[in-house]
Amino acid sequence: MLEDLFSLDGRLAVVTGASGAIGREAARVFLALGATVVMTGRTPEHLDEARASLPADAPVTALLGDARDAGHVAEIAETAAAQGGADILVNSVGTNIRKPLLDATNEDMQFLWDVNMASVWAVTQALVPQMVEKGYGKIINMCSIGSFIGLELKTMYAITKGALAQHTRSAAVELAKYGIRVNGIAPGYVDTPMTHAWIHSEREEQFLSAIPLRRFAQVEDMGGAFAYLASRASDHMTGQLLVLDGGETISSA
Ligand SMILES: NC(=O)c1ccc[n+]([C@@H]2O[C@H](COP(=O)([O-])OP(=O)(O)OC[C@H]3O[C@@H](n4cnc5c(N)ncnc54)[C@H](O)[C@@H]3O)[C@@H](O)[C@H]2O)c1
């Protein structure tokens, strides 16, 4: 049955960065498919707003914290363990510093690395034992087209997302024997608070002309990928990135 293929009934999904636009969409989709959700975020008002955007009676736990903080990572793992253990993990924590390579500092690079890659590593390591115990799990990493192409003014970001793609592939190889699938989503521009001012600037036409579908993604465009990668529908897929870029990376425009 098609519904069974996508059902997340009885699943516990941990979504980091769920106070943000894309993570919030993942939480919304998972709840609609029957999952229980643990959502995390760093900014209290954004986390409250994200929680309030979901049905009041939905099975959701919201955890506030910085993903670079080991105590917060431990709290995520403990919260998930107390609810039967994580079946699904979405690593959506991420940030960006747009700067020419020549102006970037070591501190800038270290900050992006810590948020975009080291925190993902730590959260994943903390939750994987719960999936090993179940003999099943789905990890979804928020990568980017910067995982495999160069990006003007975003070399540091591309480095972190390139590493995340490689983390996705290598963890997929290592964890396959436990029934854990590790995949990623690689969007081009998604219109979210992270990108809004940047894409709707004097550069807008230039950006759009590079996208064959001639539009930026909306968060809803990510929903189908979350449903697919979190459910049994994708059980024979691991170590892959779903590229949701309106055709940008297959076009010579
Ligand atoms: N928006 C895009 O165009 C786009 C494209 C490709 C990939 N992505 C990736 O998708 C993910 C989500 O992006 P978004 O557009 O929803 O951005 P967003 O800014 O709306 O959300 C980012 C989330 O990360 C969290 N976060 C940032 N730093 C943190 C920290 N130190 N500790 C804990 N949480 C922290 C924020 O609280 C927020 O929940 C990111 O990894 C981003 O790199 C976004």
- Which positions ≥6 away from 165 have C-beta within 8 Å? 141, 143, 147, 148, 184, 186, 241
Per-residue pLDDT, 3: 82
pTM of the prediction?
0.98
* pLDDT tens profile 96-152: 999 999 999 999 999 999 999 999 999 999 999 999 999 999 999 999 999 999 999
How close is the Cα of 195 to the center of ligand 1, in Å? 10
Residue from 138, 141, 119, 196 nearest 23 by CA: 141
pLDDT of 2 over the 90 cut: no
Atom of ligand 1 nearest to the CA of 69: 32
Q: How far apart are CA 153 and CA 183, in angstroms?
A: 27
CA-nearest residue for atom 9, ligand 1, is 142
194, 215, 222, best to mutate for ligand 1 pocket (most atoms within 8 Å of CB): 194
Per-residue pLDDT, 56: 97
Q: Would the CA dihedral through 55, 116, 222, 235 be positive or negative?
A: negative
Per-residue pLDDT, 187: 98
DSSP 34-97: T-EEEEEES-HHHHHHHHHTS-TTS-EEEEE--TT-HHHHHHHHHHHHHTT--SEEEE------
How close is the Cα of 185 to the center of ligand 1, in Å? 13
Just list the catalytic residues: 157
| Half-sphere CA count of 8, side-chain side, radius 13 A | 30
95, 98, 120, 199, best to mutate for ligand 1 pocket (most atoms within 8 Å of CB): 95
* pLDDT tens profile 34-51: 999 999 999 999 999 999
CA-nearest residue for atom 42, ligand 1, is 94
Q: Which domains does the chain have, with CATH numbers?
A: 2-243 (3.40.50.720)
Strand partners, 145: none
Q: How far is CA 42 from the centre of its chain?
A: 15
pLDDT of 70 over the 80 cut: yes
What would the two tokens of residue 193 be?
């608070």
CA-nearest residue for atom 36, ligand 1, is 17
Give the E-state strand segments of the chain in sequence order.
12-16, 36-41, 60-64, 88-91, 137-142, 180-187, 241-244
* pLDDT tens profile 181-212: 999 999 999 999 999 999 999 999 999 999 99
Per-residue pLDDT, 253: 74
Q: Confirm or reject: Cβ of 192 under 6 Å from ligand 1.
A: yes
Helix (H, G, I), strand (E, B) or coil at 235: coil
Per-residue pLDDT, 134: 98
Q: Would the CA dihedral through 123, 128, 134, 135 be positive or negative?
A: positive
Task: Say if CB 139 and CB 173 are below 8 A apart.
Answer: no
* pLDDT tens profile 172-187: 999 999 999 999 999 9
